[in-house]
Amino acid sequence: MKRWRLGLLLVCWALTCGPVAQAQERWELRKDTDGIAVYTKDLANDAYKQIKVVCELPGTPQLLVNLLKDVERHQDWVYLNRKTRLLKKLSDNRLVYYTEADLPWPLTDRDMVVEAVFFPVQAHKPARVEVKSVTGYLPRQTGFVRIPTSLAVWEITPVTDRKVKVEYTFSVNPGGTVPAWLVNLTVATGPHKTFQNLRQILASRFTNPRR
11-63 per-position pLDDT tens digit: 444 544 544 444 346 899 989 999 999 998 887 666 677 899 999 999 999 99
Higher-scoring residue by pLDDT: 203, 179: 203
Coil vs helix vs strand at 122:
coil
pLDDT band at 88 (very low <50, low <70, confident <90, very high): very high
pLDDT band at 7 (very low <50, low <70, confident <90, very high): very low
Instruction: Decide if 194 contacts 12 (C-beta within 8 A).
Output: yes
State the pLDDT at residue 9. 47
pTM of the predicted model as reported, rounded to 2 decimal places: 0.83
Q: Is 116 exposed, middle or buried (0-12, 13-18, 19+ CB in 10 A)?
A: buried
Q: What pLDDT digit, counting tens, does each position of 174-188 carry?
A: 766 654 544 544 566
> Among 1-5, 86-90, 125-129, 164-168, where is mean pLDDT lowest?
1-5
Q: What pLDDT digit, counting tens, does each position of 122-131 carry?
A: 988 899 999 9
Of the candidates 190, 196, 182, 145, the residue with the CA atom closest to the CA atom of residue 5: 182
Of the candidates 67, 73, 24, 79, the residue with the CA atom closest to the CA atom of residue 190: 79
What is the distance between the alpha carbons of residues 132 and 22, in angstroms, rounded to a whole number?
17
Indicate the average pLDDT of the chain: 83
Cβ neighbours of 53 (radius 10 Å) = 22
pLDDT at 150 over 80: yes
> Among 33-37, 81-85, 101-105, 164-168, where is mean pLDDT lowest?
101-105
b/e burial code for range 154-178 (CB count within 10 A of at least 16 → b): bbbbbeeeeebebbbbbbbbbbeeb
Question: Residues 199-209: what's their mean pLDDT?
Answer: 83
Sequence letter at residue 136: G
Compute CA 160 distance to the chain's CA centroid, rounded to the nearest angstrom.
24
State the pLDDT at residue 105. 65
Of the candidates 8, 14, 2, the residue with the CA atom closest to the CA atom of residue 187: 8
DSSP single-letter state for residue 23: B
pLDDT at 201 over 90: yes
Of the candidates 57, 40, 25, the residue with the CA atom closest to the CA atom of residue 163: 57
State the pLDDT at residue 140. 94
Sequence letter at residue 84: T
